[in-house]
Structure 1
Amino acid sequence: MSLDHLPRRDNDSEFKHGSVFHHNSVFTASLNDDAVDEVIVHRGQEVWTDRDGSLSFCGVVELTELQFFLERTLSEAGRHLDRLTPMVDARLRDGSRLCAVIPPIAVDGIELSIRRHRQQHREIASFADPPVIQLIHRLVDERHNIIVSGPTSSGKTTFLSAVLTNALADGDRIVAIEDTCELQPQQNEGAGHIVHLEARQQSTDGSGEVTLQDLLVTALRLRPDRIVVGEVRGAEVITLVHAMNTGHDGSMSTCHANSPVDAIHRLSQLVLQHSPNWPEKSIIDQLHRSIDAIVQVEKTPQGNRVVTDIVQPTINGLTSIVSSGEVNGSLQSRDQRYA
């Protein structure tokens, strides 16, 4: 299924969000609803919305409208969909994130998800009670290497943006590397630098790909005080670990995991996948020596994003300093943890 044959429209006054041209359609209304967190199209026609974690069916969208939206929006983003490239991730003009899959990969019809970009900025203080927040401030101020872990939509990116806002206020130069640019720390004039680097998919002829690993190597040459990887999911984990362990203190990343223990396991499996000759015990030891703290964030049944746990890797395993949102230990330096 190629979208290249679809007609183009030149009157941008008809487009409020990307390429939507049916002003009164359920699809357009959902995209323009500020209360919606995510718009989903299922099986090429069903429109669903996510509001605070709750999915609701809204109606159906015409296939021609959906195809036109994808063709126009992806063209603006420099991406494309066709039989040879049936899956795509893209950042829209307003910062929203789009993921689309078309037949034959999507067997029952086009599958589309658009995660709305929120300009809401949260303070670190909103994620936990004051004693926990004091620990988080120490983690940042003392330049500990931090992994933020959590399930999907738990607030990892929002929390990391809040942390980076504090780091920028201290005058740090931060190089942030992401598949799709989502980190949005607040920056005051005269404060530190935030350099955003975004990966790029290969073109139709197989050229032009820029991976997170490529960007991470470049970031090391841009005089960073801190290196931030939006989410570790591939070979870049090895370079990030080396960076954390060779003078780039205060680096940060996120990891999709249901607990700090799961985060270490996931990171070790990523390293093993890309360095199969590296003994797993050595991988775990290297991760423990490179990562100073794992901060777990969760979404509560009420829809709030909060810090639930903070652990520190030590020579004896993982040591808890925050559990279920309550401080139950003291923060240790790297030397103390490996004395």
Structure 2
Amino acid sequence: MAVDADVARELKRQVAADLYEQGAAAVDEATRRQRGRALIADAVARWSDAYAVAHGVSPTREQDRELADTVYDLLFRAGRLQPYLDDPEIENILVNGCDDVWVSRAHQPLRQVPPVADSDEELVELLQDLARRHGGGERSLSTSSPTLALRLEGGMRLQALTGVTPRPYVAIRRHRVAKATLGDLVAMGSVDSTLAAFLASAIRARKNVMITGTQGVGKTSLLRAMAAEIPPEERIGTLETEFELWLHELGQLRQVVPMEAREGNGERVDGRAAGELTIGELIPAALRMTLSRIIVGEVRSAEVVPMLRVMTNGEGGSMCTLHARTPHMVVDRIAELCLEYGSQMTDALAYRLTANALDFIVHVTMIDETPVGGRRHRFVSHVLEVAGLGESGRPALNTVFGPAPDGSEPRAVPQTPPACLDDLRRAGFDAALLGNPYGTWGAPLHLRVHGGAPGGPAGGVPVPRGVPGAVPVRRQGGSSR
């Protein structure tokens, strides 16, 4: 028989009350969970005996174990969401009310799965439990605080809304590449060895880098991989809304000062939530921690201004990510966020800050062919050098890497050497690598539908690769592409 959700919830409440009476709140989490396991076993045994008396048949050991696991998940983990969190192939969990739940797995489209709660009220209760157990300060979900953002076990990120939506809505995203190097990204097809060497030398040469792209394309994974190129003895700081980089736990860097923003407690004082501490407000404190570099997990708002100032005034080598649909939208996106900083900010000042602060913009792209039976391809498509202010007063951008001009390769290949090439050579980069117009990709990206890369020649009819009539593009020297 399936686990009775009402029984599991009642046993969870009983065990929670027993833990409270035993003063478990005052002990560490590992001890509390150990005590909880024992109390759950006792509670399930009592329920099983009562069930046998009432129905004349005893539940099996497997049924008792499933009930105990369900109660444990409700009390200490994510309840009926937990099986999806435990599945390493699941990338996204989308909840549009308790009974409208969707998941996407790697290289598979969204599909609907069973409900994660019997009512929206139960779903909100689960989210409130998760907020109370969150280790990053005061976080809650209520009518006075209708949004919730937190990290879950394993580094997954949860965003929830209620009160401002007809039903509670939840989005959970997993970073499937938890610990990666640039070499790993080469093996995955996100960058080739030429671009990996270029990015590694940019980090060693202390260039300031902004990684851009849309949601879910792999910006954080690339940032984590590039951070692995920082000399291990350097002291760096990370600033995040919720910890996702985990550079302080991966062991590649010996001195990391991790900082996490704090949400307010729902009360508002002078127009803002009491107790709130933003990334922008953490930056001044970070600067007093004797850090050689600062890494911001994601720039979302006015904190872009202090971040750009850090890049301008510091030793160099800082990094951040930013949401942008195309690489050539990034400059205007930065200006938009700068204007949120205050009335003293102007477009011209935002452009000057950008030109002075950034050395490179690295754009990550995803081509999703799961609707036509293919895969999701995530890769770096552009590396733009910020080459000071242009004649128009906007930052001048130099395309160092981009899609092949003939449309044969959407991934980044060498185009124009950067103005700072000598700096990269001093950091160990072999400039001869930029001489191959197709980089060091072993083969073109295998796409089911191929009609030219972004920025490539227009007007072509999409031709599936590998079908009769498709003409292979050839590399210089005659090798087939």
Deviation of 1:272 (Å): 1.9
SS in 2 for 1:181: coil
- The residue aligned with 1:227 is 294
Looking at structure 2, the residues matched to 48 and 209 of structure 1 have their Cα atoms a distance apart, in angstroms, of 32
Looking at structure 2, the residues matched to 227 and 8 of structure 1 have their Cα atoms a distance apart, in angstroms, of 46
SS in 1 for 2:226: helix
Correspondent of 1:331 among 403, 418, 427: 418
Matching residue's letter, 1:156:
K
Alpha-carbon RMSD across the aligned residues, in angstroms, is 2.5
- The residue aligned with 1:3 is none
Deviation of 1:305 (Å): 2.4
Looking at structure 1, the residues matched to 104 and 228 of structure 2 have their Cα atoms a distance apart, in angstroms, of 28
Deviation of 1:292 (Å): 0.3
1:80-99 alignment to 2 at 5 Å? 80-99=140-159
Q: Quick check: 300-309 or 217-226, which moved more?
A: 300-309
- The residue aligned with 2:225 is 162
Greater RCO (Cα-Cα under 8 Å, separation 6 or more) = 1
Q: Deviations over 1:78-119 (max 9, x none)?
A: 42111111111111233221111113x112x11011223546
Deviation of 1:282 (Å): 3.1
Looking at structure 2, the residues matched to 66 and 57 of structure 1 have their Cα atoms a distance apart, in angstroms, of 17
Q: Deviations over 1:226-249 (max 9, x none)?
A: 011111112211111111111231
Correspondent of 2:264 among 188, 191, 202: 202
Correspondent of 2:92 among 25, 38, 59: 38
Deviation of 1:304 (Å): 3.4
SS in 1 for 2:228: helix
Looking at structure 2, the residues matched to 21 and 29 of structure 1 have their Cα atoms a distance apart, in angstroms, of 9
Q: Is 1:115 aligned to residue 178 of structure 2?
A: no
Matching residue's letter, 2:154:
D
Looking at structure 2, the residues matched to 8 and 96 of structure 1 have their Cα atoms a distance apart, in angstroms, of 29
Native 8 Å contact 1:271 1:283 kept in 2 = yes
Native 8 Å contact 1:175 1:224 kept in 2 = yes
Larger strand proportion of the pair: 1
Which structure has the bigger radius of gyration?
2
Native 8 Å contact 1:235 1:274 kept in 2 = yes
Looking at structure 2, the residues matched to 32 and 65 of structure 1 have their Cα atoms a distance apart, in angstroms, of 21
Native 8 Å contact 1:19 1:69 kept in 2 = no
- The residue aligned with 1:179 is 241
Structure 1 length-normalised TM: 0.87
Looking at structure 2, the residues matched to 92 and 269 of structure 1 have their Cα atoms a distance apart, in angstroms, of 31
1:58-137 alignment to 2 at 5 Å? 58-61=113-116, 62-63=118-119, 65-77=122-134, 78-103=138-163, 105-107=164-166, 109-116=167-174, 118=176, 120-125=178-183, 126=185, 127-137=190-200
- The residue aligned with 1:242 is 309
| Percent of paired sites with the same residue | 25
Looking at structure 2, the residues matched to 220 and 85 of structure 1 have their Cα atoms a distance apart, in angstroms, of 31
Deviation of 1:253 (Å): 0.6
Native 8 Å contact 2:179 2:250 kept in 1 = no
Q: Deviations over 1:208-241 (max 9, x none)?
A: 1111111111111111110111111122111111
Q: Quick check: 299-308 or 41-50, which moved more?
A: 299-308
SS in 1 for 2:340: helix
Q: Deviations over 1:292-338 (max 9, x none)?
A: 000001223332321110001123311100002101111223999xx
Task: Note the residue ranges of structure 1 that are not aligned, 5 or more in a row.
Answer: 1-5
Deviation of 1:258 (Å): 1.5
SS in 1 for 2:246: coil
- The residue aligned with 1:309 is 382
SS in 1 for 2:90: coil
Looking at structure 2, the residues matched to 81 and 208 of structure 1 have their Cα atoms a distance apart, in angstroms, of 16
Tell me how many residue pairs correspond in the alignment: 323
Q: Deviations over 1:1-51 (max 9, x none)?
A: xxxxx95852744334854445xxxx4432332221121211332111121
Q: Deviations over 1:105-162 (max 9, x none)?
A: 112x110112235463222132311111121112111000000000110100010011
- The residue aligned with 1:322 is 401
Query: Are residues 251 and 68 of structure 1, via their aligned partners in 2, closer, same or farther at CA, if it must alter by over 3 Å?
Result: same
- The residue aligned with 1:255 is 322
Deviation of 1:285 (Å): 2.4
Matching residue's letter, 1:332:
A
- The residue aligned with 2:209 is 146
Query: Are residues 268 and 30 of structure 1, via their aligned partners in 2, closer, same or farther at CA, if it must alter by over 3 Å?
Result: same
Looking at structure 2, the residues matched to 58 and 229 of structure 1 have their Cα atoms a distance apart, in angstroms, of 35
Looking at structure 2, the residues matched to 240 and 334 of structure 1 have their Cα atoms a distance apart, in angstroms, of 25
SS in 2 for 1:67: helix
Looking at structure 1, the residues matched to 158 and 326 of structure 2 have their Cα atoms a distance apart, in angstroms, of 27
Q: Deviations over 1:242-282 (max 9, x none)?
A: 11111231111100002222111111111122233333123
Looking at structure 2, the residues matched to 145 and 113 of structure 1 have their Cα atoms a distance apart, in angstroms, of 31
Matching residue's letter, 1:112:
V
SS in 1 for 2:229: helix
Q: Quick check: 30-39 or 59-68, which moved more?
A: 59-68
Larger helix proportion of the pair: 2
- The residue aligned with 2:110 is 55
Looking at structure 2, the residues matched to 283 and 172 of structure 1 have their Cα atoms a distance apart, in angstroms, of 30
SS in 1 for 2:113: strand
Task: Note the residue ranges of structure 2 that are not aligned, 5 or more in a row.
Answer: 1-11, 20-35, 38-70, 269-273, 369-374, 391-395, 404-411, 424-481
Looking at structure 2, the residues matched to 145 and 213 of structure 1 have their Cα atoms a distance apart, in angstroms, of 18
Q: Quick check: 62-71 or 228-237, which moved more?
A: 62-71
Looking at structure 2, the residues matched to 118 and 111 of structure 1 have their Cα atoms a distance apart, in angstroms, of 23
Native 8 Å contact 1:168 1:194 kept in 2 = no
SS in 1 for 2:376: coil
Native 8 Å contact 1:168 1:192 kept in 2 = no
- The residue aligned with 1:279 is 346
